Amino acid sequence: MRHPEHHIFQFTPETLGHWCAERGWPSFRAKQILDWVYAKGIGDPLAMTNLRPAEREQLKAEVAFESGPTVAHQRATDGTQKLLIEWADGERETPDTSLPVLGSTGDASRQTECVMIPAESPENRERKTACISSQVGCPVGCRFCASGLGGLDGNLSAGRIVEQAWRLGRLPDVGRITNIVFMGMGEPLANFRAVTHAVRTLAAPWGMGIGARRITVSTVGMHKAIEKLAEEMELPITLALSLHAPNDELRRSLIPWAEYTSIEQLFEACDAWFQKTGREITLEYTLLGGVNDQESHARELASVAKRLRANVNLIRYNEVGGLEFKRPETGDVRRFQEILRERKVNVHIRASRGRDIAAACGQLRHEAQDA
């Protein structure tokens, strides 16, 4: 079966308007279609009753709405839900060959996982966070993360990035997605063009309508890309840097891509981000039992973190089958946090959500047998 050439979530009002005009449709059709999709959550053109019957048929034939089947849908005991989506052929961004790549870049897999995380507390029950992927697999190859075990199989288009959030919002008992985190599979800034396009759609009033301050882009650290993001991103999104170690030597043993940059370069880029946007950086630090969770590491991290206007999120390692790393003890995590607080660092321990369905940080994969 031939897959439609166009994708509804790739369109902007302008490009969809051009598409409608080429078919001789009224100029207001684009606004109506986008309203059906984003405001009403309708993904079936035949249900768009203010379009002419012939227009509905043509829209269905020429534009994809859901561009691949859901292979698996899992629900955790804490209410977290995970989707494994298998994308149809075509509509992929071309990988940036100027970036270092680890592992496969072929077509071994077309699957990605995305996660809906509900609020932890009843007081904030309206909060629904979509954790979405930007790539099929991941090129970074962090030693402790499941997402990069098979390497990179390709970049997702902006439309498919947005579609993940839209599909998560249509799950039973979910409703409106309020927050977005680019913390799923892939390195967002290695798919720069598609991710920035997707961010604008997610934040747009005609799109998902999610406030930019509720959108977080997480990067393992590409200082040139961070600088470029500061120059080109006009929206006040949150930037999160996956640090995971307080010094270059340890960081490079955990993150292969850290060979291409230094903490000093990353912090200079993050400082430029703050100077341009006024938005504090979030430093993400995954605690690996016996590896980077010692008191000496906490003191060193405090010294490093205080150089930036930054918040620190501590993440207890979530186990990945076949990897040697261990989840740290609760007492060690608390002591690590105390040392940072004693040194006036704003630090929080992030709760692990969806661990029982392998939906927590670092556990997402891109192969059906691992779901």
Q: Which residues are catalytic?
A: 113, 361
DSSP-based three-state secondary structure for 280: coil
Q: Which of 100, 178, 168 is nearest to 140 (CA)?
A: 100
Q: Which of 84, 105, 91 is nearest to 152 (CA)?
A: 105
Beta bridge partner(s), residue 179: 129
Report the residue count for the chain: 371
Handedness of CA 128, 129, 132, 138 (dihedral sign): negative
Q: Do residues 139 and 357 make contact, with C-beta atoms less than 8 angstroms apart? A: no
Give the pair of three-digit tokens for residue 168. Answer: 């998560």
Q: How far apart are CA 128 and CA 114, in angstroms?
A: 13
User: Is residue 131 within a helix (H) or strand (E), and if so which, with residue range?
Assistant: strand 128-131
Q: Which of 257, 349, 366, 237 is nearest to 298 (CA)?
A: 349
Q: Do residues 130 and 180 make contact, with C-beta atoms less than 8 angstroms apart? A: yes
Q: How far apart are CA 195 and CA 65, in angstroms?
A: 19
Q: How far apart are CA 219 and CA 199, in angstroms?
A: 14
